[in-house]
């Protein structure tokens, strides 16, 4: 009888011990998933052609959003096995980036994000990977990771037979990182558009006293001077407004436009843009208050002329000349 009671007591105590630890793994799993989702933002990188003095291999800009510990972007040679074309392959938003050049190896290099920074390494390519004109590793050997920064130049391979044909040209890439604010409306491009509209006054309404010593005296504006000739950007001039909202005289920027056709790199901020990109977008209507604010300076000038021209001079403006720094969104 005593043996039976002892054995029954041990059997009854076993479930009480096994039920307690069973709930612990569930709590740990839920806390890990919540912390992982909140602390893993995306980071955008853009690979654009580097426009130098000589003819380089042209390709469409490639944009990718990466997270920490994501699958690396694998760079290699384009092989037309799918039959959809090079531009379609790079636009599929996959981790494979292809370039149509025989100096690029099939598995050439990799790019990934870690702790908010981008890194690149050569994956045993034969023609080499260059970062700011420095080769990462010898032929056939893998390199150590190197950090990529905004404005860095990455070259894949070396020109073969002088690079007379596109298929034998090396690929030169300019890295754009941390420029997400330029793709959306911000204080800089919105102000630049309003300043441009302020130049739309009728040039025939200028007083005769604006011409002195055989030279035209144009009214001062808030638009910075042309960074090429360092003269003012004002009315009755042929202007070129870049997609980054920087303004130039068309006469000054024309040699750069003719050298690279539709590919354009801003001389101020070095932002790449395709001038043949589709412009069919729906513009949002502006508030009436903004329209009145833009047109109010012209009304004030009319009132000053009626008073006898006491305040014909424009108020002093802060001119930033060929300033290159641009303030982003807070």
Mean pLDDT of 228-257: 84
Q: How does residue 250 score in pLDDT terms, banded at 50, 70 and 90? A: confident
User: Is pLDDT at 218 greater than 80 in this prediction?
Assistant: no
End residue of a domain, out of 178, 197, 222: 178
- Same domain (yes/no): 270, 299: yes
How many angstroms separate the CA atoms of 325 and 268, rounded?
Answer: 8
Looking at the chain, the whole-number percentage of residues with pLDDT higher than 70 is 55
| 254: its two tokens | 């024309």
Instruction: For residues 49 and 166, state if they share a domain.
Output: yes
DSSP H stretches of helix in 20-167: 24-38, 86-90
DSSP per position, 178-222 = S-GGGGS--HHHHHHHHHHHTT-S-GGGS-GGGEETTEE-PPP-S
Both tokens of 133, joined, read: 């004109």
Residue 291's H or E segment, with its range, is helix 288-306
CB 95 within 8 A of CB 119: no
The verdict on 186 and 174 lying in the same domain is no
Residue 192 predicted with pLDDT over 70: no
Helix (H) or strand (E) holding 66: strand 62-67
pTM of the model: 0.54
Domain contains 260: yes
Report the pLDDT averaged over residues 193-211: 55
Q: Which of 83-87, 89-93, 231-235, 264-268 has the highest mean pLDDT?
A: 264-268
Torsion over CA: 148, 61, 80, 93 (sign): positive
Q: What is the CATH number of the domain that holds 94?
A: 2.60.200.20
Pick from 150-159, 184-193, 274-283: least confident: 184-193
Q: What is the mean pLDDT of residues 282-311?
A: 50
Q: Which domain holds residue 68?
A: 42-178
Domain containing 299 — which CATH number?
3.30.40.10
Instruction: List pLDDT tens digits, range 64-74.
Output: 999 998 899 99
Q: How many separate domains does the chain show?
A: 2
> What pLDDT, on the 0 to 100 scale, is given for residue 133?
92
Residue 73, phi then psi, degrees to nearest 5: -80, 120
pLDDT of residue 139: 92
What pLDDT is recorded for position 51? 80
pLDDT reading at 114 higher than 80: yes
Average confidence (pLDDT) over 143-153: 94
- Is residue 27 situated within a structural domain? no
Q: Does residue 267 lie within any of the structural domains?
A: yes
Closest to 300 in 3D by CA, of 283, 289, 284, 315 = 315
Same domain for 196 and 264, yes or no, is yes
Residue 172 sits in the same domain as residue 195: no
Q: Copy the structure tokens of residue 112.
A: 């990934």
Q: How confident is the model at residue 29 (pLDDT cuts 50, 70, 90)?
A: very low
State how far the alpha carbon of 134 is from the alpha carbons of 2, 103, 127, 130, in Å.
85, 17, 13, 5
Same domain membership, residue 282 and residue 173: no
Please, which residues have CB within 8 angstroms of residue 130's CB and are 6 or more apart in sequence?
136, 153, 154, 155, 156
Answer whether residue 14 is part of any domain. no
CA distance 162 to 158: 9
Q: Are residues 99 and 202 in the same domain?
A: no
* pLDDT score for 237: 81
171/190 same-domain check: no
Q: Where do we find the tokens 């360092």?
A: 230
Q: Is the pLDDT of residue 85 over 60?
A: yes
Residues 173 and 46 in one domain: yes
Average pLDDT, the chain: 71
């Amino acid at each position: 009888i005593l043996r039976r009671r002892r054995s029954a007591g041990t059997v009854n105590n076993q479930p009480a011990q096994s039920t307690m630890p069973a709930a612990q793994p569930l709590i740990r799993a839920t806390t890990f998933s919540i912390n992982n989702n909140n602390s893993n933002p995306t980071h955008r990188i853009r690979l654009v052609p580097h426009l130098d003095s000589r003819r380089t291999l042209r390709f469409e800009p490639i944009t990718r959003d990466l997270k920490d510990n994501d699958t690396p972007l694998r760079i290699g040679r384009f092989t037309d096995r799918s039959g959809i074309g090079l531009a379609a392959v790079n636009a599929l938003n996959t981790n494979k980036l292809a370039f149509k050049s025989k100096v690029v190896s099939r598995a050439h290099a990799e790019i990934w994000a870690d702790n908010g920074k981008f890194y690149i390494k050569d994956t045993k390519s034969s023609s080499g990977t260059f970062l700011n004109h420095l080769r990462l590793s010898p032929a056939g050997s893998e390199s150590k990771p190197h950090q990529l920064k905004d404005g860095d130049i990455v070259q894949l391979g070396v020109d073969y037979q002088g690079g007379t044909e596109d298929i034998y040209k090396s690929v030169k890439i300019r890295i754009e990182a941390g420029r997400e604010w330029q793709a959306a409306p911000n204080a800089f491009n919105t102000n630049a558009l309003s300043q441009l509209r302020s130049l739309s006054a009728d040039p025939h309404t200028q007083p005769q006293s604006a011409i002195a010593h055989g030279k035209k005296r144009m009214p001062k504006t808030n638009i910075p001077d042309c960074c090429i000739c360092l003269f003012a950007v004002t009315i009755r001039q042929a202007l070129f407004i870049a997609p980054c909202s920087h303004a130039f005289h068309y006469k000054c920027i024309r040699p750069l436009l003719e050298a690279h056709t539709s590919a354009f790199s801003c001389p101020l901020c070095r932002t790449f843009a395709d001038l043949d990109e589709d412009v069919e977008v729906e513009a949002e209507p502006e508030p009436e208050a903004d329209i009145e604010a833009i047109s109010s300076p012209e009304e004030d000038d009319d009132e000053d002329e009626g008073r006898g021209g006491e305040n014909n001079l424009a108020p002093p403006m802060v001119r930033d000349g060929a300033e290159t720094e641009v303030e982003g969104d807070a």
